[in-house]
Structure formats: C-alpha cells, structure tokens
Chains A and B, each alone.
Chain A
C-alpha cells in the first residue's frame, strides 16, 4: 500500500514504538519564543537538564516585542521576562535573535526565511501555529512548555500517530480570492473540530500552482480546524525558495537533500483516513462574523440566523458570538463600520501579503474612522518591503508602518484594541478577547483588510480591484 507524505516523514523519525499507540520520534528542529519557550527554559533549569543539541534550536522574543519601530523600544511587556529569556538562551547556547537584529521576526516567518525549516523535518514550537512550517513540507506542530523541555533535553518527543486527512482545492482562484479565503472557506464548511486527531495534507491543482507563502498561510490555519499539523508536498517552488538561504544545505549536501525531498509526496495509491475536495469556483472572498474561525461567510452574504443552525450546540455558540460581536442575524456583513485594521501575524505578514494589501491601498487613504497598522512579520520582510517602496504606500495612505512582532494578533506585547472596537485583521483567531478584552475581530485576507481600511467598512475587495 502506498504511503502519504505524512506517513513518509513520520516513519523517517520513529526511534521506538512505545506500545499503546505511542511512538518516540526524533525532533529535528525546536523553536522557542518568549512565553512558552521562556517557561520551558526555566523548567529545564529547575530540573537540572541540559539542551542536548543547541544548534537545532532557534529563539526569538516575537510575542512580547514591541511593534514600535526602533530597536530600543522593546516595550514594557518584553521587560517582564524578555531579558531573562535572552540570558537563558545565551547560557544554553541557543541561537537567539534580538529585537532590532536583521534576522529578528516572528518565528514562523524567520524559520523558513533562514532555511531552518526544511522539507521533511520534524519541527516543534510552544505555539499552536507551528503548523505554518508545513507549507514547506515540514512535519511541524505546537506543543506545551513541558513537552518542550523533553525535546530540549532529549531531542525526541512521545506522540500518538494521528490519522491523515487530505483536503484538495481544485481549480484556480477567482478575483480577490487568496489562500486565506480558501482556508477560511474550508474551516467554515468543515468546522473547527473536523481536523481533531488528524494531520492534514493540502493538495490539488490550486495548491500546486500556489506560491510558498500562500501555502504557509493555508497550513497556518490548520489548527483552527482542530488539526495540529497541516502540510503541503514540497516541489520545485519549495526548492527554489530555499536555495541559498542561511541554514539551507549547501553544495553537494544540497543535491543530496533535494533528491531526498523529491520523494516526499503522497504515493498515487496512498490511502487517506479522510478525503475532501473544495472547488475554487465556490470560493469567494471570506470574512468572519463571529468569535470562532468557523463563523465565516463570503463577503456578499448575510449574517446567519442562529435559529437556523444545524445543531443546538451551533445555535447557542452563534447566538453568544453575535451578542459579543454586536451584529444581528440577516444583516449583510458588507458595510459594517470598523475602527481598526491590522495587517500582520504569522498568518499574513509576508512580502506577498504586504504587496497584496499595498495594491489595494495605493493612491487611496485610510478612512477617518480607522486606525490601520501594517506589521511586517520579520526584519527581512520589512527591509524587502521598504526596498520595493511598499512602506511609502502604506504611510501615504495613513497606515502606521510598524516593526516586526506578533503584535495585535495576540496582544502579548500590549498591542490591543479597546473594548467594543471592531477590527478587520489578517490574523488567525477571532476569539473572545483575543485582540484585547471586549475587542471584536473579523478575520480576512490582507487585500480584504486593506479594502476595509480605505472605506472604513467591511468591504468586498473585488469592488476596489484595479
């Protein structure tokens, strides 16, 4: 029987079968951030353990870093734990990039940028959006701080093998439809727990023709469907993306690696535990209306009536969501007035995301009622954007051009929205209080967020496309 992409990578990493379904796996890469990674290092210290292979690790204080431009403005949230995190990284010999460094950025952005993330590696981080790295064909998932200690101390992790779900996107995207719209559409159809217990492989013609950054966006939202792991098969685009990156293999080893990576595709006769197809013709620009990523509709739709929900559970959840978000059933989502736009996060802060947003705002102005931020995902993205003049487009339109940080996706650095205010955000969670207590979040693509910024309302980006 053929094996899936997931099976091939999993099998490659099995050290021992521990019985009762548990496997001891080798972990190739470990990323540490200033919240869960900091806690892990403190626990490691308390337990008197060592980091067995510091060169397999990478650390960055992406969560608490201030997004105020300027290296000196780490911010008060950073100061609560950041300096100690930095000291611990230095003590254990963990490669660490500080705020203001050329390589600084959100770990899920800089891992791929630096060639730390490679096809076929196992990669963990104390962060649920670690699935992002699956866009390069890595087997990557989020773990807790205690599990991080185990990985640091042994370079292994005990895991139960998940089932495998394939989601195919067939066809080509229509106007205004991006990778973010595709994955939001899938979450809306499948629900937030469809992926529980599964690793997801995204495939199909729309994935094959998609760039690497789009694939990372798709994989990033896997956890919002309940799946810890999302991945796409590596291909020539992946190899071209990685060639020459700082930690990517070089010379003869590169050729050896590429040969190995070319085999990392699901066999023709691979069997999946679940298989779903979405057709691109059915997908229009998406926007969330509630407090779960599954509360999502196309921009030209109206807010659903909870009384018509398929189950009592969904009815209750939708009712509570509408109360929090301050909208009524039956009203069109388009035209809802907003206060904030946030373009950033490990979901959508790469160069292609900033280009897509800049394309919409160029020559236009941010509406008077809106505060708009663009927060590049890394120092490298910021530099690249500035070299292309994107920063000028954002600033001239009235956006704030910020410094890399997780920023307003999660508010750990103090970047939050006031209670009751409404944002259109390119991040990944519209949970209650996610962008600050009482903040109301609508998830969308960078182009949709840009459209909302210039009109001051939730807007169909297709009307602003040139």
Chain B
C-alpha cells in the first residue's frame, strides 16, 4: 500500500445522501474485473447512459465534466458508501484517481476498507462538507484543495483551513503506507497467549 501524506487536487462535489456501494461499483463491473481498472466503471449507473443501445457518457454527471475528470478528492453526502462490503468500492474510487473522500459519515465497512488501500476518509460536520461542496462547484477550474495528513488540515480554495480528525493509529499507518497486517503481526505472542487460555475456556471453538 502506498503512503498518503499530502495531496493537492480538484475536488468533485457529489453531495447526495446514502450513495451505496452498488452505485459506486455495480456487480456486473465487479465480478472478474481487475481492481486497477475498476475506475472506468466507478458510479457507472450515473456516469453512463444508454443511447440507442450503446453506452455513452452522461454529460450531466459531474465526473464527465472538466475539470472533475481529473479530481482526486470526492466531497460526498452523509452515509457515503453504505450497503455491501465490496472492497471494489474503494478500488474503483482509487482507480479513478480519488485519494480522499470527505463526507459527514460513511458506511462502516467502507471506512475500514479505505484504510487498507491508502484512501483517506475524512468525516466533517455536515454544514462544513456542504460548504466545501459549494466551493468546489462554484469555481471548478481554480478549486484546488489541499489535504495534509501530517497537520490534519484541509485548505479549501477560499477561507480558513479546516482541521480534521483521524484516529492516531490510522494516521500513522497511512503516513507509513501500512495496512493492518504489519501491526497485528507485532502481536503474535499475545495472540498465542490468548488462544492457549481460550482453548481451556471455550474448547468447542477450536475445531
């Protein structure tokens, strides 16, 4: 996993509530697809339309418009990526180019999945997210945002920097580019000790 330290880029506003993982990457684009190419189909139900039997870009959808085609930050509504556990939702966003998603809240499984692929999910109060979405929409060509994980600050195109919170442990892992496995492996002795005791207490667990 690549480390995440700081990023300056275009932010795409998609401030709708309850965008589910079936929208982010539909099943037919998930089965058998390489994760690095999933970005072609991120938000497929909204991004493409059927015109006379062939699949065309929907020009009204934000990611089909310049400069949002190059966006690396997504500003989303509450409960973003609710629904299924498919890690393809993160891979599809990552493959498109997104490295940061800012929303008032996330589907719980999705947020955990983000940290495994170097995507930073940032939770901010709904009014703040809405204000950032408005800025991104108002002046798209100059609307570059900087997200810095070392200082935990978002610098929007206008106005003051916004502080965000990331669990200390998650922050360090992202800065170093580590997923959870390395961290867990430093605890193998404790795991062994737990299992030895637990075998006595709950022998039926160990088949």
Contacts and interface: CB of A to CB of B under 8 A. Distances in A.
A196 B81 CA distance: 12
B108 A15 contact: no
B204 A147 contact: no
A9 B132 CA distance: 41
A292 B79 CA distance: 12
Interface string B160-173: 00000001111000
A193 interface: yes
Contacts of A174: none
A383 interface: no
A22 B184 contact: no
Interface in B69-90: 77-79, 82-87, 90
Given A15-B191, A247-B207, A196 B32 contact: no
B32 A80 contact: yes
B77 to A, nearest CB: 7
**Which residue among A121, A145, A247 has the maximum number of chain B CB atoms within 10 Å of its CB?**
A145
Contacts of A121: 205
**Which residue among B83, B90, B112, B204 has the maximum number of chain A CB atoms within 10 Å of its CB?**
B204
A313 B180 contact: no
B169 A20 contact: yes
Interface residues of B, number: 56
Interface string A142-162: 111111011001111110101
A164 to B, nearest CB: 14
B20 interface: yes
Contact of A142 (B109, B170, B195): B109
A77 B194 CA distance: 41
Interface string A250-264: 000110110010000
B144 interface: no
A22 B169 contact: yes
B56 interface: no
A431 B23 contact: yes
B24 to A, nearest CB: 11
A26 B17 CA distance: 34
Contact of B32 (A81, A154, A433, A434): A81
Contacts of B167: 20-22, 160
A77 B31 CA distance: 8
**Which residue among B22, B105, B179, B207 has the maximum number of chain A CB atoms within 10 Å of its CB?**
B207
A280 interface: no
B181 interface: yes
Interface in A12-48: 12, 15-16, 18-22, 24, 26, 28, 35-36, 39, 47
B66 interface: no
B194 A39 contact: no
A209 interface: no
B131 to A, nearest CB: 15
A26 B197 CA distance: 12
Interface residues of A, number: 76
B107 A410 contact: no
Contacts of A47: 181
A228 to B, nearest CB: 5
A39 B23 CA distance: 20
B81 to A, nearest CB: 11
Interface in B187-207: 187-188, 190-191, 194-195, 198, 201-207
Contacts, number: 180
A194 B74 CA distance: 23
Interface string B42-70: 00010000000000000000000000000
A146 B23 contact: no
Contacts of A26: 191, 194-195, 198
A127 B85 contact: yes
Contacts of A226: 79, 82, 107-108
B135 interface: no
A154 B198 CA distance: 15
A316 interface: yes
Contacts of A410: 27
Contacts of A249: 203-204
A56 B207 contact: yes
**Which residue among A56, A160, A253 has the maximum number of chain B CB atoms within 10 Å of its CB?**
A160
A429 interface: yes
Given A128-B109, A226-B108, A257-B204, A142 B85 contact: yes
Nearest to A26: B194
B204 A256 contact: yes
A126 to B, nearest CB: 6
B82 A192 contact: yes
Nearest to B117: A146
A15 B82 contact: no
B168 A147 contact: no
B22 A20 contact: no
A437 B27 CA distance: 10
B176 interface: no
Given A226-B79, A316-B16, A144 B204 contact: no
Contacts of B170: 20
11 contacts: A141-B109, A146-B179, A226-B107, A254-B204, A257-B202, A260-B202, A411-B27, A433-B45, A434-B27, A437-B28, A437-B45
The 6 residue pairs across chains A and B that have the minimum distance between CB atoms: A146-B116, A144-B87, A249-B204, A144-B113, A142-B85, A80-B32
Interface of B: 16-18, 20, 22-23, 26-28, 30-32, 35, 45, 77-79, 82-87, 90, 105, 107-109, 112-113, 116-117, 167-170, 179-181, 183-185, 187-188, 190-191, 194-195, 198, 201-207
Given A149-B181, A253-B204, 12 more contacts: A15-B190, A19-B168, A20-B169, A36-B87, A121-B205, A127-B84, A150-B180, A155-B195, A226-B79, A254-B204, A257-B204, A316-B17
